[in-house]
Amino acid sequence: MNRPFILVITALLCAIPFTSSAQKESKKARQATANIVASNPSPYLIYTSDGQMTSFDEIIKVALVSDVILFGELHDNPMIHWLQLLLTEAIDIEERELVLGAEMFETDDQLPLNEYLNGVINLSKLEKNTRVWPNFKTDYLPLVDYAKENNHKFIATNVPRRYASFVYYHGLDTLEYLSDEAKQLLPPLPILYDGTVGCYVEMLEMSGGHGGDNLPKSQALKDACMAHNISVNLPENGVFIHYNGAFHSQNKDGIAWYLRQTNPELKVLTIDATEQDEINQLGEERVGVADFIIATPSNLTKTH
């Protein structure tokens, strides 16, 4: 057999599509992965107020022309916290000033928070001198560090919890008897309260009357304090993004209601978070609760 003939035979053999056992296993693995992806829900889906599916880009578009963004969260949901960071980054543009704020810091945390932002104290001292939440490092520190790295203000908006407890036991009117020093940590007194606002009616119903009217009033103090600190730190040409529990801004009650009492012309964007067993359709009870509703699977791993 001459050499050219051997070369031709060799070339033909190389062209035959042999399938090794390793290749077969690789194909099975790829198919198994595809089956897993197809049978499991997306990590999140976004809906408009009327329950129509939309995209994260649509939230960004509206956020860029808003004065205030109330990003309602589920405190232990990692997907929502990641999306909070993504939205914050997306709206941080040169044309508009950005201010961040959160329910998770109380007004008497502002000094150590500022000192951390300005490099005066380190993370360990921030944690020791504020009442950080159990999931602070995983869920809220990335937001605080984003503010620090980009020279943005981060406002501690919530009322110190001792005063919310004080209202629960003694009522809103008794705040007048606190010291002038204590009042500096509160919104202006007296606190406006309307017991017919939906979220306070719902809270009273859910409690079965336990705590009486003082229970929703203690919630109202938190809402009023957060709204006040958003208002006084609102940039003239910019946006304030606020991270709070979803209940504080659902149906544009709570914080949003108090913001309207100060400035009804404010463009307030509300975002709600919910968990569902199946997220391919928004639950009827969630329709209308916010401008955008983010649905995530109920079995998503929790951060605490």
pLDDT band of 41, cuts 50, 70, 90: low
Given a contact cutoff of 8 angstroms between Cβ atoms, the answer to whether 63 and 90 are in contact is yes
What is the pTM assigned to this prediction?
A: 0.86
CA–CA separation, 23 and 153 (whole Å) = 55
Is the pLDDT confidence value at 29 over 50?
no
pLDDT at residue 27, rounded to an integer = 53
Q: What is the DSSP string of the chain?
A: --HHHHHHHHHHHHHS----HHHHHHHHHHHHHHHHHHHS--S-EEEETTS-EE-HHHHHHHHTT-SEEEEEE-TT-HHHHHHHHHHHHHT--TTSEEEEEEEEEEGGGHHHHHHHHTTSS-HHHHHHHS---TTIIIIIHHHHHHHHHTT-EEEEEEPPHHHHHHHHHH-SGGGGGS-HHHHTTSPSSSPP--TTSHHHHHHHHHTTTTTTTHHHHHHHHHHHHHHHHHHHT--TTEEEEEEEEGGGTGGG-THHHHHHHH-TT--EEEEEEEEES--SS--GGGTTSSSEEEEEETTSPP--
pLDDT band of 28, cuts 50, 70, 90: low
Given a contact cutoff of 8 angstroms between Cβ atoms, the answer to whether 270 and 252 are in contact is yes
CA–CA separation, 242 and 35 (whole Å) = 39
Cα angle: 147, vertex 152, 154; to 5 degrees = 70
pLDDT at residue 42, rounded to an integer = 79
Start-to-end C-alpha separation, the chain? 75
Q: What percent of the chain has pLDDT over 70?
A: 86
Given a contact cutoff of 8 angstroms between Cβ atoms, the answer to whether 240 and 40 are in contact is no
CA–CA separation, 304 and 302 (whole Å) = 6
Is the pLDDT confidence value at 39 over 80?
no
Is the pLDDT confidence value at 126 over 90?
yes
Residue 274's alpha-carbon distances to 69, 135, 140, 207, 250, in angstroms, are: 17, 19, 19, 21, 11
Arithmetic mean of pLDDT over the chain? 89
Q: Which CATH code for domain 43-297?
A: 3.40.50.11550
CA–CA separation, 142 and 38 (whole Å) = 31
Q: What average pLDDT does the segment 71-95 reach?
A: 96
66: nearest Cα among 267, 270, 282: 267
Residue type, 26: S
Give per-residue pLDDT as tens, 47-75.
999 999 999 999 999 999 999 999 999 99
CA–CA separation, 287 and 294 (whole Å) = 11
Name the segment(s) of the chain with CATH classification 3.40.50.11550. 43-297
Tokens 């007194």 sit on residue: 189
Q: Within 13 Å, how many C-alpha atoms sit on residue 268's CB side?
A: 28
- Tell me if the bond preceding 78 is cis, omega within 30° of 0: no
Out of 115-124, 206-215, 248-257, 265-274, least confident range: 206-215
Given a contact cutoff of 8 angstroms between Cβ atoms, the answer to whether 162 and 109 are in contact is no
87: nearest Cα among 298, 261, 291: 291
Give per-residue pLDDT as tens, 237-268.
999 999 999 999 999 999 999 999 999 999 99
